[in-house]
Amino acid sequence: MIFLAGRDRYTQRTLLRDVHDRLTNQAGCEDVRYRPSRRRPRYVIGDVDPTTLLSDSYDATTARLEIRFWYPAGVDHEYYRINWVEPDRNLMLGFHQDADHPDLGPCHIQLNHKDASVDRHSASFLDAHPLAVLDDRLQQLPAAVEAITWENGSPSLPTWPV
């Protein structure tokens, strides 16, 4: 059992249950589920109608949100990955607060295409309750997705923040 220090003694399981409930009530989210299972949750995944979450003119027909929070030993804040995934275009855009790219600071936004990273930018560190972080990142997500530019079939994220 992992306790998230300074966050009302949340366990990771309790936090992911609350993330699940939050996505279940998000307009455009359907089939919200745990991975690998409800008994051992590590991620919360929800299928998304892109036209509801972004805009009616968005050209992707399928997308999903993949959300993970965890609290590694020796770190005084949560790590998370809040990813927008478009399987048909093999595209992922995510806010990541982890130790993967220390040159970008504690948090970055990352764009992957065809299973490879194509762009990364530093993102603001949010020292808040994980559900408040989730709400802030979900509010930023439409602008981030719309900032993606395509040239010759390859995406890029020219600048962040937008």
- Binned at pLDDT 50, 70 and 90, residue 3 comes out as very low
Decide if 162 is inside a domain. Answer: no
The answer to whether the predicted template modeling score (pTM) of the entire model surpasses 0.85 is yes
Decide if 146 is inside a domain. Answer: yes
Count of structural domains, the chain: 1
pLDDT at 104 over 50: yes
In which domain, by residue range, is 44 found?
3-156
Decide if 143 is inside a domain. Answer: yes
pLDDT at 24 over 90: yes
> What's the rounded mean pLDDT across residues 118-123?
95
Q: DSSP readout, 122-134?
A: E-----S-HHHHH
> Model confidence over 30-72: pLDDT tens digits?
999 999 998 889 999 999 999 988 888 888 889 999 999 988 8
91-111 burial code (b ≥16 CB/10 A, e <16):
bbbbbbbbeeeeeeebbbbbb
